[in-house]
Structure formats: C-alpha cells, structure tokens
Amino acid sequence: MLKQSNPFMKQANLIGGEWVAADSGETIDVVNPANGQVLGTVPKSGQAETARAIDAAQKAFESFRKTTALERSNMLRRLHAALMDNQDALAELLTLEQGKSLAEAKGEIGASAANVLWFAEEARRTYGDVIPSPWADRRVMVNKEPVGVVAAITPWNFPSSMLARKIAPAIAAGCTSVAKPAELTPYSGLAWGLLAEEAGIPPGVINIVTGTASEIGDELCANPLVRKITFTGSTRVGKLLLSKAAATVKKVSMELGGNAPFLVFDDADLDRAVEGAMVAKYRNSGQTCVCTNRFFVQAGVYDAFVEKLAKASSALKVGPGVEDGVQQGPLIDETALAKVEEFVTDATAKGGKVVVGGKRHALGGSFFEPTVIAEATPKMKFMKEEIFGPVAPVFRFETEEEAIALANDTDYGLACYFYTNDLRRAFRVMGELKYGMVGVNEGLITTPEAPFGGVKESGLGREGGHQGIEDYLDTKYVCIGGLGD
C-alpha cells in the first residue's frame, strides 16, 4: 500500500523556506514496518546541506530574535491549530512509517499539539530579574535572550512529539532551528515544515534536513553558529554528541536511554498496578525510553501479579497499526526484533519462565508476541540493558530495602514507577529512587506541564514544564551605572 496521497508526506529537505533535494540527488528509502513496503524516499543529505541549513537558520535568527513574545506565542497558537486541524492525516502518516496503532498515533499528535500550546503560553513568561543593587548609583538587571540556532536530533519512536518538545520551546524563546529526524521515520519530522508554513512561521525559523546521521551530526556539532544541541536518542549517541559539542562549548540537552523499574508492594491495589503496568510496558510496543524494563514484585503478591499481567498481556490485539482495534503494532525493524529475541533467549537460559508470548508473532514481519517472563533474576541481560520491546520480566523481592537497591542498580535514571497504598512508604520510596521522574500508583505520567528528563546516564536538562524553555535562553546580566546625583 503506497500512501503517497497523504498530504503531509513531504520527500524533501526544508532549508530557508525552500523544499530541496540532496545535492547529490541521492535518496534513502522509508519503509512501512507493518508490511516491509517502501512508502517513499527522503533526501540523503550530508555536511553541505546541513551547513546551508545552519546559515539559513542564522539569517532568520537575526530578525526572529527581535519578534515580541506575543508574536511568537501567536505563531505557536496557529501551529497548535494546524496540528489539531490535521490530526487524522498526521496520525496516519505516523502509523505508516512508525508502526504504532492509529489510536496511539492520534495520541502522539495530540501530545505534540499540547506541547506547542504549553510553550505558546510559556513564551510570554521568560521573566528576567531586577535585583536590589549594592551600589547607590547603579541598577542591576538580568535579561533572558534566545541562545541562537538550535540543532534538534530526534529518534524514530516518537517522531512527531519529540520534535514538538524541541521546536516549540525554541520558537517560544526566539531561537531558530535545524532539525534532523531519524532516518527510519522522517516524514513526521518533515511534516513540521508544512505545519510551520500553514501557521505563518517565517522561512528559515524551522529547517529540516534528512540523510546520513553522522555527517549531519558532525556539522551540527562542529559549526560555531549552532549554540545548542538538543537530542533524544540512545545514551551511546548522546555521549558522542556531548563530546563533539565540547569543541565549540554549546549548550546541550540530552534525553537518553532508560531502564525503568516498576515496583509492586504487598499493600498495592493489584488491579490498578496491572492496569498501570500495561501502559508502562506495552505503549508503542515497548519502544519508549520510559517503558518499564523491570518489574519488581513483593513475594506476597508475586504469583497473583504475574497471573493478572499475563492474562492482560495475552489479550492485547496485535496487528498493523492502521487496522481497527489494534493495540500493538510491529517493532520498528528486524534489528529491534532480533534484539528482543536475544533478551528472551538469555533469560530462559538463566532460569526465566515464559508465562505468555516469548517468540515472533504468527503475523510475521517484525511483529513480536506480548511476553511475560517470571522468575527473572539480576543475572539476566535486561537487568542492565534497555529491552525496547514488548517483554515484561518480573523479579521477586522480599523487603523494601531490597527493592530499592535493585531498582537503583543501573547506570540509568529516567522514569520509575511504584505501587503502594501505604502513605509513609510512598514518601520514603519516592525519596530513595534515583530517577528524574517517579510515578506513584500511576504508569503513565508524561504531560507538557511537568519537567521530563533523567539523572545519571539518562541525560541532562528537562523538556516541558516551566524548566523546558530555560535551555533555549541565555542569561544576560546588565549593570547600569552613572545614576548618582
């Protein structure tokens, strides 16, 4: 099924308001993960196109930085309207290139719109300070100014909303940007160019380049005109970008990998915990950085939890995301599938028991069965590594101290979840978990109003919340003297 008819499927770079091919004319195929068919192509760009996009962004910045906060807020409001007016078409495009169900894709476009609206509001609140002066004849003032050109690199799992969290605060702050969407899912990224045109955002404020990641990334890191890099993706690439950005001392925001624990105590509401577990595990077929990687369940409720989770998991409807009622689509590609298989093989070799699922789905392609593995132990691979697939390993624990130690025994620190009905335990445990985000009796906590981000090797900076715009602003201290009599 070749869906060329989708009005948002743009197969070109956007540089300085022009839709252009790669200099070489070369392209990359984009494949629908649900059926392996080629949806279309995008330009295979490299260093030269990226440098031009940066120049275009810098040129646009000279005037964009002088727009008022109210003007930028109104642009973002129009962008929000453009997203909501086209939610169905954007969701279809997202499902076709990424695989998630249409319901989840619509939800992601809604989340993009919510982020845009949030930053439309925050644009008008980038307050500075007037500080009581220690000098009688001077005034002390602090202003906030846009940092300049921002480079935004995004992953394939949320190709629309991850860009929303970067483009929207950039515009709100008065920055211009060069975006590089993931090569597996570039269309939802390129769609932001069309949406920006529809919203009347000036040419050059948003530039989008697709192609060879390392070449584009190297130019974004090395070019001194880029003043900030915002990245969502793997910890491996994040570290690479951090080291490369050091040469020109850029600001950096990094949303990297996770290894989310999900703790269920004996005193938890078990049905609520299972409900939370299902979203925290299987959203986007387990391909989110805040997806539960490890379930830790107290001995008293262990068997009951495993049974309920297995029952709910086996009831999930797996299929192509575009089909009615489908809850879980395919994994992004064969590599992802092979990796998930490897986790299951490793676990069963070390004594893990597959309660449901455990293998490639009968649908073929990159579909995998929703899987629950009981009797998980810390020796298994998923104790330290991100699964990024629909596999739920369930570990058993006896005491609260043991659960906290297990949960924290990782280099990551993005999201974590725990379930208890004991208020004192809730406060104790939330204080002990070394994570940037904690869900207490909730399995889905992301919202534009709250700061999203991690500690340890899960990243730097926060997206969303009132914190989300800070990284796009420089602080300028101004001392005004000669004011004496």
| Interface contacts to ligand ADP, rule CB under 6 A | 153-156, 180, 182-183, 213-214, 217, 233-234, 237, 240-241
In the complex, minimum distance from the CB of residue 291 to ligand ADP, in angstroms, rounded to a whole number: 12
**Distance (Å, rounded) from C-alpha 175 to C-alpha 201?**
12
Total residue count of the chain as it appears in this document: 485
Cα separation of 335 and 31, whole Å? 14
CB closer to ligand ADP out of 42 and 372: 42
Minimum CB distance to ligand ADP smaller for 152 or for 437: 152
Query: Which residue in the list 92, 97, 221, 289 is annotated as catalytic?
Result: 289
Asked if 45 contacts 211 with a C-beta cutoff of 8 angstroms, the reply is yes
Of 395 and 412, which CB lies nearer to ligand ADP in the complex structure? 412
* Closer residue to ligand ADP in complex, CB, 82/170: 170
* Tokens found for residue 140: 């002390």
CB of 464 to ligand ADP, least distance (A): 19
Beta carbon of residue 390, minimum distance to ligand ADP (angstroms, whole number): 16
Contact 179, 206 (CB under 8 A): yes
Q: Nearest 5 degrees, angle CA 451-CA 456-CA 459?
A: 50
Tell me how far CA of residue 97 lies from CA of 105, 160, 231, 390, in angstroms.
Answer: 11, 11, 21, 19
Shortest distance (Å) from residue 72 CB to ligand ADP: 26
CA 307 to chain centre: 31
Question: For residue 424, what are the CA distances in angstroms to 147, 299, 396, 404, 432?
Answer: 44, 20, 22, 15, 13
Give least dist CB 294 to ligand ADP, A. 19
336 token code pair: 């992802």
Contact 83, 107 (CB under 8 A): no
Which of 219, 255, 369, 470 is flagged as catalytic?
255
* Closest separation in Å from C-beta 335 to ligand ADP: 9
Q: Which is nearer to ligand ADP, 154 or 410 (CB)?
A: 154
How far is residue 354's CA from residue 60's CA, in Å, rounded to a whole number?
A: 56
Identify the CA nearest to 185 among candidates 256, 83, 96: 96
d(CA 277, CA 262): 8
Residue among 63, 53, 51 nearest 201 (CA)? 63
- Which is closer to ligand ADP, CB of 91 or CB of 208? 208
Q: Which two tokens stand for residue 466?
A: 């009132």
Query: Taking every pair of C-alpha atoms in the chain, what is the biggest distance, in angstroms?
Result: 86
291 is catalytic: no
CB of 334 to ligand ADP, least distance (A): 14
Which residue number places its CB atom closest to ligand ADP?
217
Choice between 180 and 227, CB closer to ligand ADP: 180
Q: Shortest gap between Cβ of 389 and ligand ADP (angstroms)?
A: 12
Residue whose C-alpha is closest to residue 32's, from 320, 306, 232? 320
Do 69 and 126 contact (CB within 8 A), yes or no? yes
Residue type at 97 in one-letter notation: E
Q: How far is CA 16 from CA 41, 53, 190, 230, 273, in A?
A: 21, 7, 14, 20, 49
Nearer Cβ to ligand ADP (155/169):
155
Our CB check for ligand ADP shows the closer of 154 and 293 to be 154
- Location of structure tokens 């005004």: 480
Do 282 and 381 contact (CB within 8 A), yes or no? Answer: no
CB of 267 to ligand ADP, least distance (A): 37
| Cα torsion through 414, 419, 423, 427, rounded to 10 | -20
Q: Report helix, strand or coil for 353.
A: strand
> What residues are labeled active site?
255, 289
